[in-house]
Every structure is written in C-alpha cells, then in structure tokens.
Structure 1
C-alpha cells in the first residue's frame, strides 16, 4: 500500500469492484462509488494516473446499466447523462486535487534540499587531520530529520596552529540551529585573525548579541593547539577530558558564564603529549540517563573506549557505551569531538599542566 504500485493496484481494484457490483446488482445506483479510483489515485499517484482513472470512471458511467427504476427511454437517458456528469465532475476535482498535491510536494522537496544544503554548509565535515592535529567527530540532533541542532563545532588553522570551537545553544531544534549558525559564522569571520582566545570569546559574544533572546545563551569552549600544549577558554561549557594513565577533567581555574550572560573568559594552559587525547563534548553526553535515572558515568569503561587504537574507533566505542546507557531515551543534541596532536605539532616535548591564572594540575576523575 505504501508503494506507487500498491496504490495503483488499489485504485484499479476499486474501479473493478464497483463495475462488478453495478453489473451484478443493477437495482442499486453505484455511480458515486466510481470516484473511488480517481480519489485514491489523487492521494498518492501522479496527475497522469489520476486523469487515467478519471477517464475510466467516466467510461464506466457511460456503459454500465442504470438502476432500472426509470419509466421511459427519455428518463433513462437523463439518468445516464446526470450520472456521467456527476462522475466527470468528481474526476475533474480529483485531478485538480492531485495537481495541487504534486505541486506542494515538489515545492517541499526543493525547500528540503535547500535546507539540507544550508545545514551541510554550516555543519561542514571536518578533515581527519589539520595542522598536525588528528580529529574525529560524531554529532546528532535531537530534532528528527535535522542535521543541525543546538550544538556547534568547527576547526580552523591559524598562524600558531589548529583552533577548535565547540558550543551548545540553550535548547535545540530550529531556534538552537539559528543561534548556532550565528556563532559559527562569527567564528569563521574572526578566528583566523584574532590571536587572543579570551578576546575572541568576547568578540563572539558581542557579534551574536542581536541573535539572542532574553533567555538565550551559548556555552562555548575554544582551544588553540600550540607547541607547548593547548590553550583553552571555557565559557560555561562542560570541561574537556584528557586521556592518559587516567582520565582528567580539565576544569577552568576561573569559571565563566556562557555567551549572552556577560562572560568573563580566562585563558587556561594545559600540557599535552602526543600519547594523550582530548575529548570535547556537549552535555548531551554526561546528562543522558538510563532507565533508573542515572546519568552517564565517565568511568573506567570510558577510559578503555577512548584508548582504542584510532580516534575514530575510540569515538565508535564511546558511542556504543552511550547508546547502551541511554537506550533511546536521549532528548538532547549530542556532539563528540576527539583530537590527538602529533609530535610535529607539539614539538615532541610533553610537560606538566598549568594555568595562566595560577591554577595547578587538575585532579583525575574517579572511576567506580
């Protein structure tokens, strides 16, 4: 029934059934039922098919016997003429309805294609490597059929090395995608020319102010990968996780509100070796709950997943853990971005973590 062939068969059987009933029971007028075929065709088939079923219905109205209740030839002729006129009018209405439907479907298909191309231009695929930084990303929207949601991410190459952005707009769906697109556009316009991450965060905040409602905000994390490690600016976003002998949550030394809420960006310097990886993510990961309401745990299983031979395999393993935990109960957008620098990018000199604001090395996450 869902295929075109199924609807074609259904319309044909409807016409044949009415014709057989009219022949087998001429005392009852079944002329109105002759419109079943054209109406079924108008609902799912092409205009040409609907015209064909309409003409077939008119032909059947001409050749099928009447009810036999008329008293003379003139009355029988009038009855037949009225029946043919009624079926022809109904068939014409079915054709017009089919034309309107197919035109609407064509317009919707064009708009859907334009929307898809627009989304793909904003959520452009990241390269697997840029400036000595290996990347793997997974992103999904909570809105069915949408490529974009409230999450945003991108990477660009600056004079000092790769620069990464990841963020999360309050809410999701169309409004979240609109604000996220504004953040990405502002980032792409300024990221390559602004050397200071904290100043870049303030610039993005001012650039998107006109796109934010009274209760809107955007959590944001910016990262510069340089020879001495990575520089971070965190404006209310979940802190990245550094892998190694244990998982380490890289909390900012001085928490800042998100964009739209008067952020106070602080530069954080973190040491990173080529053996270590950084996981950037949105709260769709850590706030996912299982059937008992327990949030997704960042434990030894996550460490094992992120230690897979390649970063792409690592994200696949992490997503498997996530889906096992959430079991389809997710209602938020999800973005995972895993990166690993090369020796060439870092200069082959791993060091200790430090913060420009006087912070010390971050405590490790505890595994149960």
Structure 2
C-alpha cells in the first residue's frame, strides 16, 4: 500500500472515537428513558402513598349529627400526611362518637399501628354501645400489632344531649371551653392500650355555649427555648374563643408555633392533632340522659357527680 493510501492519524482517531460516540449516545438515550420510567414510577408510588394516608385520616364533616367540628393535623415527619396520631368519628343513634389517639414513636411503625387502631374502631364503633367494652375490644385487636415497648394512648368521646361521655386510656385530658378553660381530668386514670388498660366512663355536662378540644400531646409537649411546655392558660382560652371553630384552631396552631419556634427551628417536634367541637344551636340540646351510678368510679368507691371535673387551678383556668 502506498503512503498516500494509508489512514492518517485523524482518520485513525475517527475510526476509534466514532463508535465510542455512538455507544455514548445510545447509553444517554437509555439512561434518559430509565429516568423517565423511574420518575413515572415515583409519581405513581407517591400518589398511592398519598391516597393511603388520606384513607387513614378521613376528613370529618363540618356538622356531625348536630356537632360542629373542625380538625387540624400535622405530622412531625417531613412530607408525611400522617404519623403516630389518629382520629375518626362515627354517628350513632344516640349521637356522634369520636376517637383521638397517639401511638408511641414515629415513622412507618407508628403509621402501621395507627392504621390497626383505626381499622378496629371502624369495624366495631358503630355496633358496640358500651364505651368500656369498646376500649377493651380495641386493646385486644391491636395488642398483636404492638411491640414490647409500644402502646397507644386513646380517648373516646360519646356526645349525647347535654353531655359527653369519655373513656380515657392514658391520653391527654380534653379541654372544655366556656366562661372558663377546664381540663377534664379523669378521677380514675387508665393505662394506654397495650399496657393492660382499666377504662372507666367519665360523664361531663356539655351545652351549646361550650366547646371541647380533643388533642394529642403535640400541643402540651410544645416547648420554648428554655424547655418550658406550652401552658394551658388564658392565651389558649383566648385562641379557642374565636367566633369560628376553624379560626380558633388556626389561632391555637399559631400560638404553638410561636411558643416552640426557637426550640424546634423550622421543624415540628411531634405529631399534632387538634379536634375542636361544639353542639350546634337547637341540636344535642334535648333532655340530659341519666348518668349510670357506676360511671367514672371503680366498684365500692362511691358515685361521682355529673360534673366530673377536678377543682383547683388545673380544672378552672383562664376565668373571664
């Protein structure tokens, strides 16, 4: 072969680089296609996760059998709609029945246990009239889902004309808002689900000029820069006295965020659920149902009054 016919150096480089460029182009196309497929799969998985979470936290109607309701929930886990908190409601012939609970811990395990509690409640709450039996049923149903160190605090509330019946298994006591702010501590506290609870019924008066807040410990555990928890004082009563229930909860969330801003930074230290209710005018105002004599008191320990609220500063805050 003559010197003129032999490939030059650029020709040899082209013979080597050309196929490499073709392979790189093909690899780029395939990678782009894979990224598109992964992105589409992520969108589908995100949508499924969102729908699953929304199935757990079903929105409550603004009016549930004569009980006006407003709800605020917030997960401590970034990007999650739910965490260890749970709430739900059913409408019984006697009136609305509400549940608020808190699973110890965070993350997927807490969500799994929350789902088990809600499933048991939705399967049983509409057909079991007795609150104490219902609490025991929920404890039995979820015990197999709990680890050695897991438990669930729980509050169940039956709203009947003129009153509300409460069963509290280790949960923060509800607040009754009227002329004063009252912490409705139970006289017979019970351990949470998973720790052999001994529930009893506490009955308190509840009239259309009063409101009631059911909440999780994300409210009372909110701490400032000095580690001081949020006090249930006149500021909370003022926030909850706004004309509309939704406005009242917005005020309370602002109060929590302002109190804990220096401590938590931009994040939230705990899950938070706030469920605020009030009887609507002309409803839930019939004759007050009789209170069974054994409600709220273990055997052989006497009979409480209808107004099972402790005296002292914890039971009478923020007097106007």
How does the TM-score come out when normalised to structure 2?
A: 0.88
The aligned residue for residue 284 of structure 2 is 345
Who is 1:274 aligned against? Answer: 208
CA deviation string 1:177-222 (max 9, x = no partner): 1100110111001000000001000000111112111111100000
Distance 1:141 1:361 in 2: 31
CA distance in 2, matches of 1:351, 1:194: 19
- Whether contact under 8 Å (2:99, 2:156) holds in the other structure is yes
Contact 1:229 1:346 in 2 (8 A): no
SS of 1:156's equivalent? Answer: strand
Alignment partners' CA distance in 1, 2:317 and 2:275: 22
Give the conservation status (yes or no) of the 8 Å contact 1:273–1:351: no
Gaps of 5+ in 2: 298-302
Distance in 1, Cα, partners of 2:208 & 2:10: 94
Distance 1:79 1:332 in 2: 63
Residues 1:301 and 2:235 aligned together: yes
Please tell me whether the aligned partners of residues 272 and 351 of structure 1 are also in contact (alpha carbons under 8 angstroms): no
1:259 corresponding residue in structure 2: 193
- Distance in 2 of aligned mates of 1:144 and 1:100: 27
Larger radius of gyration: 1
Indicate the structure whose relative CO is greater, using CA pairs within 8 Å and at least 6 residues apart: 2
SS in 2 for 1:167: strand
**Other-structure match for 1:333:** 271
For 2:251 and 2:133, the matched residues in 1 are separated by: 36
Match of 1:49?
none
How many residue pairs match? The answer is: 297
Matches within 5 A, 1:187-336: 187-327=121-261, 329=264, 330-336=268-274
Please state whether the residue corresponding to 1:216 is helix, strand or coil: coil
Output the CA distance in 1 between the equivalents of 2:114 and 2:174: 20
* 3-state SS, counterpart of residue 346 of structure 1: coil
Question: For 1:100, which of 31, 34, 46 is the aligned residue?
Answer: 34
CA distance in 2, matches of 1:351, 1:304: 33
Structure 2 CA distance for partners of 1:350 and 1:274, relative to 1, 3 Å = farther
- For residue 33 of structure 2, give the secondary structure of its aligned residue in structure 1: helix
Partner Cα distance (1:198, 1:350) in 2? 18
Report the equivalent of 1:39. none
* Other-structure match for 1:65: none
- Equivalent positions of 1:132-171 (< 5 A) are 132-171=66-105
Following the alignment from structure 2 to structure 1, what is the Cα–Cα distance between the partners of residues 13 and 255?
Answer: 72
Which whole-Å deviations, capped at 9, do the CAs of 1:125-162 have from their partners, x for residues lacking one?
11001110000000011111111100000111012110
Give how far 1:253 is off: 1.2
Contact 1:133 1:339 in 2 (8 A): yes
Match of 1:185 in 2: 119
Q: In the alignment, what sits opposite 2:309?
A: 361
Q: Secondary structure at the match of 2:58?
A: coil
Distance of aligned partners of 1:339 and 1:348 in 2 relative to their CA distance in 1, 3 Å threshold? farther
Cα separation, partners in 2 of 1:256 and 1:242, compared to 1, 3 Å = same
Give the drift of 1:74. Answer: 3.7
Q: TM-score, normalised by structure 1?
A: 0.77
Specify the alignment match of 1:9 in structure 2. Answer: none
- Distance in 2 (alpha carbons) for counterparts of 1:356 and 1:346: 23
Root-mean-square deviation over aligned CA pairs: 2.2
Query: Counterparts of 2:146 and 2:275 in 1: how far apart (Å)?
Result: 25
Give the C-alpha shift of residue 240 in structure 1: 0.1
